[in-house]
Amino acid sequence: MSTHEMKIKGEKLAVQVRNADELIKLWHTFHRGVEPDRVVDIPGWIGKLSDIQTFRLVPDCFLTDAGATEKAHEEYMANLRRIRNLTPTTRATRLGIFKLLNWGFTGENLNDDAPLAQEAIGLQEKFYTENPLRVHCDPAIFKPLLGEWKLCDKAVLRIVENCVLQDRFAARSL
């Protein structure tokens, strides 16, 4: 079973079409002037033959599996609900973001029972009490614990930034 990307005139995103052989033949006969322009209805798109710009065969390794994407989204939402249902005190014991930031700034691993970790738990509990829909704390609350923010591993900053941006979006929208 072959899959093609169908580029539509004026659209940025292409439409994936499975078993497009008949549609491609119809489109070619239209462009040769043999077939009149007409409306075609395929899963994911309805339009005229004249709206189609090109077709491109998509290698199997580039195909997206809608079922896998949907399953990943369901798992994400279930995890989000599970974390939101935790009390602020329980949620505050999740130190992943703080430990990552601490490692990014100091290069040292932090134990859960370290005094610094206990201070972070206190800050997080206050944050989660004030922001019940959030699952990650804003990193700025940790600034008093981490001192000068001069040098940090850039990958750490990107990971934390992506987590916090996704969390802020989820708190507003989900």
Verify that 129 and 149 share a domain, yes or no: yes
The pLDDT of residue 61 is above 70: no
- pLDDT at res. 65: 65
Distance CA 71, CA 55 (A): 29
pLDDT tens digits for 24-58? 999 999 999 999 999 988 877 888 999 999 999 88
Alpha-carbon dihedral of residues 75, 79, 82, 88, nearest 10 degrees? -170
Residue 161 sits in the same domain as residue 87: yes
pLDDT-derived band at 69, boundaries 50, 70, 90: low
The residue range of the domain holding 168 is 66-173
Query: What local confidence, expressed as pLDDT, does residue 1 receive?
Result: 60
Helix residue ranges per DSSP H, the chain:
21-31, 66-84, 88-92, 96-106, 115-130, 143-146, 154-173
Chain centre distance of CA 37: 39
Higher-confidence residue: 64 or 74? Answer: 74
**124 and 167 together in one domain:** yes
The pTM of the full predicted model, rounded to 2 decimals, is 0.61
- Whether the per-residue pLDDT at 7 is higher than 80: the answer is yes
Indicate whether 15 and 75 sit together in one domain: no
pLDDT of residue 152: 79
Q: Are residues 58 and 71 in the same domain?
A: no
Clarify whether residues 87 and 25 are in a common domain: no
Tell whether 28 and 112 lie within a shared domain: no
Starting at the edge strand found earlier in the chain, the sheet holding 3-8 runs 15-18, 3-8, 52-57
Tens of pLDDT, residue by residue over 112-144, are: 899 999 999 999 999 999 999 999 999 999 989
